[in-house]
Amino acid sequence: MKTFLVTDFDHPAQLVDVATPTPQSGQALVDIRACGLNFADLLMSKGKYQDTPRPPFSLGMEPAGIVTALGPDADGPKPGTRVVVFSGRDGLAEQGVFDATRCLPLPDNMSFQDAAAFQIAYGTSHMALDYKARLQPGETLVVLGAAGGVGLTAVEIGKVMGARVVACARGAEKLEVCRRAGADHLIDTDTQDIRDEVKALGGADVVYDAIGGDQFNAAFRACNPEARILLIGFASGDLPEVRPNHMLVKNITLIGFYWGGYLKFRPDPLTDSLRQLLTWYGEGRIKPHVSHTLPLDRAGEALDLLRQRKSTGKVVVTMPPSP
């Protein structure tokens, strides 16, 4: 089978042929049909992600496909079941073996591409906004990087939860995507000042920050008393400088959030969140936005779309059915 393999952190990943894996105890073999890409894949390819394994390994954190076999003592969906997997890696391959308990059956109306674009992005935004920030109807939610993979889901989920959503993104094309996702107000970060624009709208109650750097600083200065700031990621590459005295005076809460971490120490809220999200999907209230779909032999190009910030929503890599 073919897999997109990282052999060391100084060279780009390459598509190579390897032996088809055999499921071991507790594992499921999945015929992978699609895999969503994340900014974390770029970090992992350079050894800069918090959960980077030792090479060699394959990229791809959220594959979707069909279970074809179970290993001994595996407690998971039966062969033939369509599933999505939070694998953490190894999704950019034609087949993969994964912990059977991480294989989640798909609703009948969910395509493999939607499933591959769904889990991390929607799971991150829903857990962050609901479980962590306790976003309330009528509050003002400011989303930084609103046209990105997780940012766009924060716009959607914020609207479903009844918030007034302010989307911050670069350029008219990306802002139009945010508007279609339900944003109430749009801020072009290329030409407008986030602080001034948000303050003119009455200030921020919750800030969802996947960017960091100067945008964090601007949004921080536009926060209302008792605002909550969610640290989701640092796509700018610039870690923000926090002013604790300002947090104290305005009673601002700074919240770090890493979705995958809950698998290790508290999986129940994550499972409850995914159950709610799948219900919303079935009701047509949320719908993944996939801007680019490329085949496995163009996985390097797919990652470049993220690296160069040319995508909106999610980038998905597809695989042909195994013979």
Could you report the per-residue pLDDT of 59-72, keeping only the tens digit for each? 999 999 999 999 99
Rg for the chain (alpha carbons), in Å? 20
Half-sphere exposure at residue 217, Cβ-oriented, CA atoms within 13 angstroms: 9
pLDDT of residue 323: 64
Give the confidence band of 21 by pLDDT, cuts at 50, 70, 90: very high
Give span(s): CATH 3.90.180.10, the chain: 2-118+288-318
- The correct answer on CATH 3.90.180.10 for the domain covering 2-118+288-318 is yes
* pTM of the entire predicted model: 0.83
Average pLDDT over residues 283-292: 91
> At 215, which amino acid appears?
Q
> At 189, which amino acid appears?
T
Give span(s): CATH 3.40.50.720, the chain: 121-260
Helices 151-160 and 119-126: crossing angle, nearest 10°?
A: 50
pLDDT of residue 274: 85
Backbone angles phi, psi at 111, to 5 degrees: -75, 165
pLDDT of residue 309: 87
The answer to whether residue 50 scores a pLDDT higher than 90 is no
Q: Which helix (H) or strand (E) holds 155?
A: helix 151-160
* CATH number for the domain running over 121-260: 3.40.50.720
Q: CA 40 to CA 50: how far, in whole Å? A: 9
Average pLDDT over residues 13-28: 96
Which residues are bridge partners to 17 per DSSP?
Answer: 2
Strands 103-105, 140-144: pairing is unpaired
Q: Higher model confidence: residue 239 or residue 226? A: 226
